[in-house]
Amino acid sequence: MADASRASAAVSGQTANERCPPRFSCVFLGCSREEYQSAFGLLDAAGIRLHRAGSLEQADSLLGAGDSLVLLTEAAFPGGTWRDALAMKARRHRNAVLVVTAAAADESLWLDVLEQGAYDLILKPFVAEELFRILENADACARTKAPAGNVRTAGPGWSAASPGPG
């Protein structure tokens, strides 16, 4: 039924999230308007709401509103890097999870992101299926996390059967 409503919404010019309640939402920090529109189109079709944050302060405010538990961030953005976003999340939004995006990455960046406590790294341009899978798993991880202060209960966004980074 939800798929039919989403298809109907696409024909009527409304976004899927205007017709059906979203499955969950994410905050995208530091992205350009074009990247946001591209990601929004992919995620809206899947019933995932995406909020755009132009600064760490705006991301903090959006996460504080309680609607989103996933922070998707550029590796570098005006005024900071993914490490700054991770520090903000650790201080103020302990149950949220951080997913880093980059146009290019090597194993050392991937390992650094994971070792520092981010959930995963997604390469751009986004592949729809990979983006959905990682964000859905990140949201599920955030919702099942132990109360703030306890250790993380889930691993990175890939399974033991997948090849992982590289």
Q: Is 113 helix (H, G, I), strand (E, B) or coil?
A: helix
pLDDT at 164 over 70: no
The pLDDT confidence band at residue 2, using thresholds 50, 70 and 90, is very low
Mean per-residue pLDDT of the chain = 81
- Number of separate helices (H) and strands (E) present in the chain: 7, 7
Residue 78: is the preceding peptide bond cis (ω within 30°)? no
Within a domain: 68:
yes
Q: Which of 89, 95, 92 is nearest to 146 (CA)?
A: 95
**Across residues 84-100, what is the average pLDDT?**
96
Total domains, the chain: 1
Identify the sign of the CA torsion 50, 53, 54, 56.
negative
Q: Which of 107, 97, 86 is nearest to 153 (CA)?
A: 97
| pTM of the model as a whole | 0.76
Residues 94/149, Cβ–Cβ less than 8 Å: yes
**Cα distance between residue 115 and residue 118, in whole Å:** 7
Within a domain: 150:
no
Within a domain: 80:
yes
How does pLDDT run across 28-84, given as a tens digit for each residue?
Answer: 999 999 999 999 999 998 999 999 999 999 999 999 998 899 999 999 999 999 999
Q: Is 14 helix (H, G, I), strand (E, B) or coil?
A: coil
Within a domain: 4:
no
Within a domain: 32:
yes
Within a domain: 73:
yes
Residue 106: give its domain's CATH number.
3.40.50.2300
Within a domain: 137:
yes
pLDDT at 26 over 60: yes
The domain of 48 spans 14-144
